[in-house]
């Protein structure tokens, strides 16, 4: 679901692309490279890539998507350096760790390559040379999750981190700690749903006081956390998660999960491609970051989305 104001923005972008571009500009062969920390084997990053590819098709541009096979900051920095050497018309990059990516991002800016950051890095993208960032403020999103969970009167929480070294996830947990105002432990879990589920189940069996879980990914830890709580047979543990999958929407709709935080990954791919195209063909680009989240999806919202989509959702967890 796209908010009304975002629908208007998308319509304007489409109109510019289809009708407002001079014929000679339409003939320009633009090539963009997107480098992220997430492989498209994840449904979340597949949605980001899908948005970017749709925007590129509409703009008559080429879009190349690259990411390490697993979370690897050194490999990602290498991919970004390689992309700079290819001199694309624009770069789109996620920033899971500013220190690891500062050098290649600044090199891109110094080379005169227009750069837009997405997903992770809302607060640091501009300082590293990005023109703007498309995504959500991760600390703010965590705080929203904490305040939402506080209403359920939980006292002892786990914040499940599936990518150690991803500063964006650290910020989510920090925001959650401040918003929840109870006891919170940041608990590492494997970036594999089955292994994460076993880790969560083991911890719940050993730690009776835990009554709240915040997962930082619907796929990697949110769905496994819901399954682990179901297996407790009667014990109340409130579960919330970042991002949206079919299963999580159904879990929120029936009360098995309390909420999901939606950051709209399709837009994180779609908008930067359109913005770069507008820059090249019109000399115009937004002057500030564009927020695609956080959107708090509660039970009524989940039911409405399932009804409207006929149970079909395509966005998933980071």
Question: Are residues 221 and 76 part of one domain?
Answer: no
pLDDT in tens, 249-274: 999 999 999 999 999 999 999 999 99
Question: Are residues 117 and 31 part of one domain?
Answer: yes
Flag whether 228 is in a domain: yes
Flag whether 82 is in a domain: yes
Q: List, in sequence order, the alpha helices (H) in the chain.
A: 4-19, 23-26, 43-59, 73-85, 98-110, 138-150, 167-180, 193-206, 223-230, 246-254, 265-282, 299-309
CA proximity to 33, closest of 68, 64, 4, 8: 64
Question: Are residues 94 and 180 part of one domain?
Answer: no
Range of the domain at 191: 138-262+299-309
Res 43 pLDDT > 90: no
Question: Are residues 235 and 211 part of one domain?
Answer: yes
Flag whether 315 is in a domain: no
The CA-based angle 197-312-62, given to 5 degrees, is 95
Q: What is the mean pLDDT of the chain?
A: 90
Give the Cα separation of 72 and 69 in Å (integer). 8
pLDDT in tens, 73-122: 999 999 999 999 999 999 999 999 999 999 999 999 999 999 999 999 99
**CB 281 within 8 Å of CB 127:** no
Query: Residue 24: its pLDDT value, please?
Result: 37
Q: What are the Cα distances from residue 89, in Å, to 123, 127, 287? A: 24, 21, 19
Query: Do β-strands 133-135 and 90-94 pair in parallel, antiparallel, or remain unpaired?
Result: unpaired
Query: Residue 13: its pLDDT value, please?
Result: 52
Give the Cα separation of 247 and 253 in Å (integer). 10
Query: Residue 11: its pLDDT value, please?
Result: 46
Flag whether 314 is in a domain: no
Flag whether 127 is in a domain: yes
Question: Are residues 249 and 150 part of one domain?
Answer: yes
Question: Are residues 305 and 179 part of one domain?
Answer: yes
Question: Are residues 268 and 230 part of one domain?
Answer: no
Question: Are residues 144 and 99 part of one domain?
Answer: no
Question: Are residues 283 and 248 part of one domain?
Answer: no
Res 1 pLDDT > 60: no
Question: Are residues 196 and 179 part of one domain?
Answer: yes
Flag whether 169 is in a domain: yes
The domain total for the chain is 2
Flag whether 182 is in a domain: yes
Flag whether 109 is in a domain: yes
**What is the C-alpha radius of gyration for the chain, rounded to an integer number of angstroms?**
20
Question: Are residues 107 and 73 part of one domain?
Answer: yes
pLDDT in tens, 280-313: 999 999 999 999 999 999 999 999 999 987 744 4
């Amino acid at each position: 679901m796209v908010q009304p104001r975002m629908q208007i923005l998308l319509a304007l972008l489409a109109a510019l692309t289809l009708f407002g571009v001079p014929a000679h500009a339409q003939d320009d062969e633009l090539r963009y490279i997107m480098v992220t920390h997430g492989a498209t084997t994840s449904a979340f990053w597949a949605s980001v890539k899908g948005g970017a590819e749709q925007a590129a098709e509409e703009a008559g541009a080429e879009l190349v998507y690259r990411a390490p096979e697993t979370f690897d900051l050194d490999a990602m920095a290498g991919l970004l350096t390689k992309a700079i050497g290819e001199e694309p018309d624009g770069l789109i990059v996620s920033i899971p760790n500013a220190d690891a990516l500062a050098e290649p991002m600044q090199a891109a800016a110094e080379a005169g390559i227009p750069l837009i950051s997405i997903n992770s890095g809302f607060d640091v993208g501009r300082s590293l040379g990005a023109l703007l960032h498309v995504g959500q403020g991760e600390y703010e999103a965590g705080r929203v999750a904490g305040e939402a969970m506080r209403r359920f009167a939980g006292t002892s929480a786990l914040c499940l981190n599936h990518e150690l070294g991803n500063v964006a996830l650290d910020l989510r947990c920090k925001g959650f700690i401040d918003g929840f105002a109870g006891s919170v432990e940041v608990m590492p879990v494997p970036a594999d749903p089955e292994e994460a589920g076993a880790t969560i189940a083991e911890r719940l069996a050993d730690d009776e006081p835990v009554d709240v879980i915040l997962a930082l990914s619907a796929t990697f830890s949110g769905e496994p956390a819901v399954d682990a709580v179901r297996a407790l047979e009667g014990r109340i543990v409130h579960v919330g998660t970042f991002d949206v999958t079919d299963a999580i929407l159904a879990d929120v709709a029936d009360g098995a999960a309390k909420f999901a935080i939606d950051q709209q990954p399709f837009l994180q791919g779609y908008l930067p491609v359109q913005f770069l195209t507008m820059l090249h063909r019109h000399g115009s680009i937004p002057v500030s970051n564009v927020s695609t989240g956080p959107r708090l999806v509660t039970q009524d919202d989940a039911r409405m989305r399932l009804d409207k989509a006929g149970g079909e959702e395509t966005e998933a967890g980071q």
